[in-house]
Amino acid sequence: MRVDLEAVTALRFEDGTPVRAASAVAPLGDGLLVAQDDATVGCWLRPGTGAGTPVRLLPPVAGHDSFSTAQGTKHLKPDLEAAVAVALDDGPAVLLLGSGSTPARTRAVLMGLRDGSTWTLARDLSPLYARVTELLGLAPGQLNLEGACSLDGTLRWFHRGRPAAGLPSSSVDLDLAAVVATVAGRAEPADLQPTAVRRYELGVIGGVGLAVTDAVALPDGSLLVSAAAEDSPNAYDDGPVLGSALAVVHGDRVRAVAALPSVGGRVAKVEGLAVADWGPAGGRVVAVVDEDDPRAASPMLTLRVSL
């Protein structure tokens, strides 16, 4: 397996401000929706526009729409880390999920299109996050759900973990339609039942284990996952990123791993993936990078994956 960098785009909104901390990406209509993990606003990228339209995902939190350590507001951020294309009432939508790494990060969002206009629904899923924590055997404060994908009607939801601390990346499965119905207010969070724990060993870079940051399903039923070797002290604080990679996974078996190329001499901490095209020999994916710097425009990468 080999990964080559074909293009890099600095993500910005229409007014020139940077898209901060890109943490997830999914198709929406004729474009892509990008989540910012430190903001309540997403970026809808449309073909031929050159810049993104801001779209509200959540109301302000304590009067804030962006969050940072410098502002003393990091503890308030909703931390939307996963995005999956779904449908509601036969219309296109995106399901976005908080990481669950603090009680403020247990909300889910549905954003969709109706007659050319966007709509948004949000709901707290605290009971579900508590069940996932218990199923994975984690202590309070260890949960960090950073990626998700749709696989034959199943939502596979990935806990990043901290391999260096003996906490491997893992995943649980949920009925995707049930999750969508719950966020839409048609079912109760307490009724959602996570199952099918899987654990993943992706290798080590610079003495730090690679941990899953996102996943997308491939036509043959395998998954393409992104991973970062980040030396973080816990599930809340950032750490130095020593390397990143893509891997092909089937079930919990890792079939292939390839290092990601650097971007501008820096490790590309990919946190969101979307498939552009795919065939038997590989294909092209779009990846968004979290720079862990609120002043920097998040890069969007076009990657050629050869199997």
Looking at the structure of the chain, the number of domains it has is: 1
What does the pLDDT profile of the chain (307 residues) look like in tens digits?
999 999 999 999 999 999 999 999 999 999 999 999 999 999 999 987 778 999 999 999 999 999 998 899 999 999 999 999 999 998 999 999 999 999 999 999 999 999 888 999 999 999 999 999 999 999 989 999 999 999 999 999 999 999 988 899 999 999 999 999 999 999 999 999 999 999 999 999 988 999 999 999 999 999 999 999 988 777 667 787 899 999 999 998 999 999 999 998 999 999 999 999 999 999 999 999 998 787 889 999 999 999 9
CATH classification of the domain holding 91: 2.115.10
Q: Where are the alpha helices (DSSP H) in the chain?
A: 126-135, 176-183
CA atoms within 13 A on the CB side of 144: 23
Question: What is the total residue count of the chain?
Answer: 307
286 in Cβ contact with 232 (< 8 Å): no
- Domain carrying residue 134: 2-306
